[in-house]
Amino acid sequence: MDDDQIEVVIQKQTGIALSKLNEYKTKQIHLKRPVFFVPGWCDEPCGWWIGPYQGIQGIFQWISQIADNPKEAIYIEFNNESPQCNSFLEFGQVLKNKIWAAIGKDQPFDLVGHSMGGLNIRAALTQEDPLLNCQSCITADTPHQGDNDGKFLELAKEFNPSSVASITPYQLKQVQNMCPTNLPIQTINHLDSRQLFLSRVNKFYQFKGTRDWVVMDSCFMDMTEISDSYSQKVASISVEGCEHIWTKGITLDVRTILAIVYMIQGIEIPSANNHGILPDGNYTPPDDNEIFIG
């Protein structure tokens, strides 16, 4: 498809997803267990999950309207802890403590992470004294294999130089430790760590925005030597037209939000690059299991 055809698909999918979310305002959902939303790098207040941004609702606003128990959705903040964290490994320790403080160590829960937040989650699930009882783990535009060969800051200076000028020294250290050649990423991507991670989740969904220049091809975890468990537990889903943040950011896209709503209710979503209602009609969703992703 050319760009114009892709835009038609995106608009159609967006309209259907929006309609479905609006239906849930009267036919409300019930969150099956606590779900923790984890922010990414430089998003200490969890703003890209909470929203709104330029009038676009975040998942916080949607869940507040469509769930009969919205307090089961908990939005993690790192405002106080970020200056003491050099990498996502330290954030993993902080995340564990915040979740245990909220629900204890025995209750099942779901985890949803944006960007570096997904690495925080992987760290928390694989460190000593790990988080246990994670049912669904979801990451959106997480640099699972590191940030663009360490070129993120170079790209950021090209695309948005003002954002780079405001980076603090500790945030600079955090992004440097997402470079594929640095120890934190190498640690989290060691075979033992990847095996351990998949053993501690029932289902792992990973989203990739097709127009995300920040993370690009690093959104999907390395499946080398773990292909059997990977195929059983992992769904890798590309969301057509989504960027990392801003108005077309993956966390604000209603297709992503609807998909997450399904996932945390336990509705199975298979792995593929084309889910949803497409113009050629080659996918018919069964019953209530529609998903609208390009």
| Domain 33-41+52-264, CATH among 3.40.50.1820, 1.10.3720.10, 3.40.50.2000, 3.40.190.10 | 3.40.50.1820
Q: How confident is the model at residue 214 (pLDDT cuts 50, 70, 90)?
A: confident
Higher pLDDT residue, 170 or 166? Answer: 170
When mean pLDDT is compared over 113-117, 179-183, 261-265, the highest value belongs to 113-117
In tens, the pLDDT along 135-154 reads: 999 999 999 999 865 666 66
Structure tokens at 289: 């299991």
Structure tokens at 121: 């989650």
Classify residue 69 by its DSSP letter.
-
Separation of alpha carbons 201 and 266, rounded Å: 13
In tens, the pLDDT along 91-133 reads: 999 999 999 999 999 999 999 999 999 999 999 999 999 999 9
Q: How confident is the model at residue 17 (pLDDT cuts 50, 70, 90)?
A: confident
What does the pLDDT read at residue 195?
97
36, 85, 89, 236 from 10: Cα distances, Å: 28, 38, 36, 19
What does the pLDDT read at residue 201?
97
Q: Inter-axis angle of helices 152-159 and 169-176, to 10 degrees?
A: 120
pLDDT over 50 (residue 2): yes
What does the pLDDT read at residue 162?
65
Neighbouring residues of 186: CB distance < 8 A, sequence distance ≥ 6: 180
Q: What is the pTM of this model?
A: 0.92
Q: How confident is the model at residue 182 (pLDDT cuts 50, 70, 90)?
A: very high
